[in-house]
Amino acid sequence: MSDLDRVLAAVDADLDAAIARLFDFLRIPSISTDRAYAAECRRAGQWLVDDLAGLGLTATLNDTPGHPVVTARSEGGAGKRVLFYGHYDVQPVDPLNLWDNPPFEPTLIEGPNGAKRIVARGSSDDKGQVMTFVEACRAYLKVTGALPVDVTFLVEGEEESGSGNLPPFLAANKEGLKADIALVCDTSMWDRQTPAITISLRGLMHDEIVITCANRDLHSGYYGGAAANPLHVLSKIIASVHGADGHIAIPGFYDGVTEPPDAVKAQWASLGLTPESFLGPIGLTTPIGEAGRSLVEMTTSRPTFEVNGMWGGYIGEGGKTVIPSIATAKITCRLVAGQDPIHVRDAVRAFIRAQLPPDAKVEFLSGDGSPAVAVSHDNPNLARAAAALEGEWGTPAVTIGGGGSIPIVGHFKKTLDQDTLLIGFALDDDRIHSPNEKYDLTSFHKGIRSWVRVLAALAD
Amino acid sequence: MSDLDRVLAAVDADLDAAIARLFDFLRIPSISTDRAYAAECRRAGQWLVDDLAGLGLTATLNDTPGHPVVTARSEGGAGKRVLFYGHYDVQPVDPLNLWDNPPFEPTLIEGPNGAKRIVARGSSDDKGQVMTFVEACRAYLKVTGALPVDVTFLVEGEEESGSGNLPPFLAANKEGLKADIALVCDTSMWDRQTPAITISLRGLMHDEIVITCANRDLHSGYYGGAAANPLHVLSKIIASVHGADGHIAIPGFYDGVTEPPDAVKAQWASLGLTPESFLGPIGLTTPIGEAGRSLVEMTTSRPTFEVNGMWGGYIGEGGKTVIPSIATAKITCRLVAGQDPIHVRDAVRAFIRAQLPPDAKVEFLSGDGSPAVAVSHDNPNLARAAAALEGEWGTPAVTIGGGGSIPIVGHFKKTLDQDTLLIGFALDDDRIHSPNEKYDLTSFHKGIRSWVRVLAALAD
């Protein structure tokens, strides 16, 4: 029997005890957004420090201006090191009356689909996910006395309240946190059978466009028909951004954008994401992205131009016959790997300036951003982790991008110069942030086994 | 010496006394928007009633839920009757410290341009203008014992506060107010030398357009690139309304619009209204109306489509990466003679519906309006009044349209079925509604003489 098989067997044998440990962790109401729970947050952090110290790791509860950060290190001298990130804080529980059981009294019940589930606030987001990794380490250490790769834990207590103290903590502890790759366990499976690795997150460029025409609001009777209206000007500009084929018409906008490997695109196409399944729940039927692109591409590997807010003139009750002086739009562009936020910003601005009619002036009030973060499809750690997950689930792992940004991943890249693989075992029906949050027992059990396999694979 | 010459001579001889009477009227602080001045408003109305009764007219101070309405009738049996409209209330005077003299202590001074001017709140808007007509009647009655046409006075005290009680007063006194033509003295000369008659006012159609896409606001990272954005949809619609030539592209929008007679258009072209003179003061340089149209046409004889207000998504401080669910625009169309507001509304709505992409729904929340009011260029009273004004000023009177609406003119048309000529002697530099409001002595003196001539001409 190989070391790996023995460790996996130990995971199976220890499952009840692992559940009991998670329940202890879940009983601590570590709600980070409510100052009344500050002591409970600290207690949750200390619980985790104690548990990790019990494994023989050097574990520390690090004070910050907010809730403390848990760090722990193994020092096996394995040569390779991974940084594991998660969070011990949880969302508030209101409305309490919608919970079938008290949110901090975890229960193991059978769900309507016949699958056993752990129900409690934090069961999925993120204590249950954090403990999959902790239990994997525990099993390895128990069976083999060592970890196949060295591990640094970074588990914060403010993820649900903005992670405000984490970037300075990273900056102040760069050296101690440096690793070969970061692993984040705070995401979902693709579906119940299919594991997923998120390897890219779109970046963001934000700007605010202010168009001014006349030097004051005008009476639309006296000047109407002769005087320029900045809402008309701004509408024409916004209308010109997207062609009928959904392509963004701004020269230079796509500079640097590359295509994912054909194999990856083929995998995305095979996922069967449909307008019905993706857009149906939000009341829509028709993707508006570039013609010929799949929904996965539109939302993860292609950049966007979005007006998030727009206003001008009279927007109160009733009417006012005014030609406004000023019209404003707040825009954001989701960026993909290869795009430079400032280059995109300047392309957008040049495109707008080139379209201004004689009497319209433009000001830009914001104009900053952060690039996309992405692990190369060629990264050997990605292939190792994907193979490990397939070994556990029997289905190839999907390699996807995230449409939005997860700031911590950007900070790992920027501050620690470190790539991240996001691997999680949550499911779409976990009701995170809602009453009756749950984590499937399968997610927990096979999640632990998955990490055992990933840790082994990364050592290669 | 003709009757007309004798009356004009009497006007000249009586000018100092006329100025003294106007000063008495101006000394009454009849600010209608401030309830503290309610008694002063009543006193101003009563002053006018007394003055008109002194001329032998049947004069009445009519109570309303607000400030009283002055009515007076001559009963000479001349056969023809005109309804004269003006207002005795004035604007507030703040900021008081910007007045060179107290606003209700009228002075006759020489202006910076060497012309004598009467300075006081209400000197131009509208007590001075009202008294030009009263003094013309006084001179006629004094010299000839009768008026060439019968006159009904309607002088309200709430014009500066919305005229809220006037429409019901008109409706309740239809029969007593009926005349052959209405004369309104509350407008300006074209310039210092050129008298003007306003014979049309644009109508208005207003609507509110609400575009909805998704059933809730969306995260622009997760859905961005795939989900429809109602601000993009609305911008495309607004952008499609005006062609590059300024023409409104909505099918049916111009139905019923006619061209003014060539002579009128030639007169407008000769007025020398330039982008510099008209748009310069508001910081603009370039008329945006239909190619080939003059500024006068753009602002008076051609209809418009204007977005008065538009909003959607996040419009607060900072940013929010949202794809909004809803976008809204408040629009108005200025209408010209021949256009039906409901027909225009339906044309606009059909144009918008025809452009909706699959996932956009539209609701219209308002959608009502009032037609333009216009006296035919063939109306014989117009020709008579124009000839009379030319007789006084030595320059042909300009026949123009007003770009906006003056509600009283619509009410005269709708309630009394009566056409209106707007003739006034104010000048653009009269500073109405501002500190140091003035009325040129020439406006007052030649205004009286003008009305003498118009009254004589209308009798023909």
pLDDT digit string (tens) for B421-453?
Answer: 999 999 989 999 899 999 999 999 999 999 999
> What are the chain A neighbours of B329 within 8 Å (beta carbons)?
231
The residues with which A82 forms a beta bridge, in sequence order, are A151, A181
Residues 6 or more apart whose CB falls under 8 angstroms from that of B230 comprise: B211, B212, B213, B312, B324, B325, B326, B327, B360
Burial of B458 (0-12, 13-18, 19+ CB in 10 A): buried
Residues B387 and B376 in one domain: yes
Cβ pair B302:A225 closer than 8 A: yes
* 23-82 in chain A: CB under 8 A from chain B: none
Does any CB of chain A come closer than 8 Å to the CB of residue B289?
yes
Residues B350 and B434 in one domain: no
> What are the chain A neighbours of B283 within 8 Å (beta carbons)?
213-215, 359
Cβ pair A306:B229 closer than 8 A: yes
The confidence score (pLDDT) of residue A451 equals 98
Query: Nearest CB to A284: which of B213, B278, B324?
Result: B213
The confidence score (pLDDT) of residue B272 equals 87
Cβ pair B359:A284 closer than 8 A: yes
Question: How many CA within 13 A on the CB side of residue A337?
Answer: 17
> What are the chain B neighbours of A298 within 8 Å (beta carbons)?
225-226
Q: Is the pLDDT assigned to residue A1 strictly greater than 90?
A: no
Local structure of B207: helix, strand or coil? strand
ipTM for the predicted complex: 0.88
Does any CB of chain A come closer than 8 Å to the CB of residue B174?
no
Residues A362 and A379 in one domain: no
Does any CB of chain B come closer than 8 Å to the CB of residue A356?
no
Q: Is the residue at A274 inside a domain?
A: no
Residues A346 and A422 in one domain: no
Residue B368 structure tokens: 């009502």
**Measuring CA to CA, which residue among A181, A255, A160, A162 is closest to residue A413?**
A181
The confidence score (pLDDT) of residue A292 equals 93
Query: What is the pairing mode between strands A69-73 and A150-156?
Result: antiparallel
Q: Which of B300, B315, B331, B432 to mutate to test the interface with A (most CBs of A within 10 A)?
A: B315
Q: Is the residue at A226 inside a domain?
A: yes
Q: Is the residue at B442 inside a domain?
A: yes
Cβ pair B238:A239 closer than 8 A: yes
- Domain with residue A38: its CATH number is 3.40.630.10
Does any CB of chain A come closer than 8 Å to the CB of residue B357?
yes
Q: Is the pLDDT assigned to residue A434 strictly greater than 80?
A: yes
Mean pLDDT of B175-181: 95
**Measuring CA to CA, which residue among B286, B236, B303 is closest to residue A356?**
B286
**A120: confidence class by pLDDT, cuts 50, 70, 90:** very high
Cβ pair B284:A228 closer than 8 A: yes
- Chain A residue with CA closest to B201: the answer is A221
User: Which of residues A370, A396, A426 is at a domain's end?
Assistant: A370
Mean pLDDT of A87-103: 94
Question: How many CA within 13 A on the CB side of residue B35?
Answer: 2
User: Which of residues A316, A343, A370 is at a domain's end?
Assistant: A370
Q: Is the residue at B224 inside a domain?
A: yes
The residues with which A135 forms a beta bridge, in sequence order, are none
- The answer to whether A431 and A366 have CB atoms below 8 angstroms apart is no
Q: Is the residue at A241 inside a domain?
A: yes
Cβ pair B226:A323 closer than 8 A: no
Fill in the amino acid letter for A212: T
Residues A193 and A237 in one domain: no
* 394-413 in chain A: CB under 8 A from chain B: 402-405
Residues B100 and B197 in one domain: yes
Cβ pair A310:B312 closer than 8 A: yes
User: Which tens digit of pLDDT belongs to each residue from B186-221?
Assistant: 999 999 999 999 999 999 999 999 999 999 999 999
Could you tell me the residue range of the domain that residue B92 belongs to?
3-201+372-458
Question: What's the CA gap between A263 and B251, in Å, rounded?
Answer: 50
> What are the chain B neighbours of A224 within 8 Å (beta carbons)?
299, 304, 306, 334, 403
Cβ pair A310:B314 closer than 8 A: no
Cβ pair A226:B405 closer than 8 A: no
Q: Mean pLDDT, chain B, as a whole number?
A: 95
Cβ pair A357:B286 closer than 8 A: yes
Dihedrals phi, psi of A156, to nearest 5 degrees? -95, 170
The confidence score (pLDDT) of residue B460 equals 81
**Measuring CA to CA, which residue among B156, B15, B194 is closest to residue B72?**
B156
- The answer to whether A304 and A246 have CB atoms below 8 angstroms apart is no
Count: domains in chain A: 2
Mean pLDDT of A108-130: 96
Question: What's the CA gap between A449 and A350, in Å, rounded?
Answer: 53
Q: Which of B308, B321, B366, B405 to mutate to test the interface with A (most CBs of A within 10 A)?
A: B308
Does any CB of chain A come closer than 8 Å to the CB of residue B226?
yes
The confidence score (pLDDT) of residue A315 equals 93
**A78: confidence class by pLDDT, cuts 50, 70, 90:** low
Residue A226 structure tokens: 């002769």
Mean pLDDT of B279-290: 96
The confidence score (pLDDT) of residue B320 equals 87
Q: Is the residue at B282 inside a domain?
A: no
User: Which tens digit of pLDDT belongs to each residue from A180-224?
Assistant: 999 999 999 999 999 999 999 999 999 999 999 999 999 999 999
Q: Is the pLDDT assigned to residue B339 strictly greater than 70?
A: yes
The confidence score (pLDDT) of residue A83 equals 98
Fill in the amino acid letter for A352: I
Cβ pair B315:A310 closer than 8 A: yes
Residues A413 and A338 in one domain: no
Q: Is the residue at A313 inside a domain?
A: yes
> What are the chain B neighbours of A303 within 8 Å (beta carbons)?
225
Residues A197 and A335 in one domain: no
Cβ pair B288:A228 closer than 8 A: yes
Residues 6 or more apart whose CB falls under 8 angstroms from that of B327 comprise: A310, B210, B211, B230, B231, B233, B234, B310, B311, B312, B313
Burial of B50 (0-12, 13-18, 19+ CB in 10 A): exposed
Residues B166 and B251 in one domain: no
Local structure of B389: helix, strand or coil? helix
**Dihedral sign from CA coordinates of B350, B354, B360, B361:** positive
Cβ pair A306:B224 closer than 8 A: yes
The confidence score (pLDDT) of residue B144 equals 96
Q: Is the residue at B283 inside a domain?
A: no
Does any CB of chain A come closer than 8 Å to the CB of residue B252?
no
Question: What's the CA gap between A326 and A343, in Å, rounded?
Answer: 27
Question: What DSSP string describes B400-421?
Answer: EEESS--HHHHHHHHHH---EE
Q: Is the pLDDT assigned to residue A140 strictly greater than 80?
A: yes
Dihedrals phi, psi of A210, to nearest 5 degrees? -120, 115
Residues A42 and A139 in one domain: yes
The confidence score (pLDDT) of residue A406 equals 81
The confidence score (pLDDT) of residue B78 equals 66
Local structure of A396: helix, strand or coil? coil
Residue B222 structure tokens: 């997760």
Q: Which of A200, A202, A222, A231 to mutate to test the interface with B (most CBs of B within 10 A)?
A: A231
Our CA-based measurement puts residue A362 at a distance from the nearest CA of chain B, in whole angstroms, of 14
Query: Nearest CB to B308: which of A306, A307, A313?
Result: A313
Does any CB of chain A come closer than 8 Å to the CB of residue B227?
yes
Question: What's the CA gap between A226 and B245, in Å, rounded?
Answer: 13
User: Which of residues B336, B351, B369 is at a domain's end?
Assistant: B369
- Domain with residue B339: its CATH number is 3.30.70.360
Residues A382 and A417 in one domain: yes
Cβ pair A286:B228 closer than 8 A: yes
> What are the chain B neighbours of A366 within 8 Å (beta carbons)?
319
Does any CB of chain B come closer than 8 Å to the CB of residue A113?
no
Residues B257 and B338 in one domain: yes
> What are the chain A neighbours of B295 within 8 Å (beta carbons)?
226
Q: Is the pLDDT assigned to residue A173 strictly greater than 90?
A: yes
- Chain A residue with CA closest to B248: the answer is A225
User: Which tens digit of pLDDT belongs to each residue from A147-164?
Assistant: 999 999 999 999 988 899
Question: What's the CA gap between A76 and A78, in Å, rounded?
Answer: 5
* 294-353 in chain B: CB under 8 A from chain A: 295, 298-299, 302-304, 306-316, 319-324, 327-330, 332, 334
Question: What's the CA gap between B109 and B100, in Å, rounded?
Answer: 11
Residue A104 structure tokens: 């901090």
Question: What's the CA gap between A69 and A46, in Å, rounded?
Answer: 10
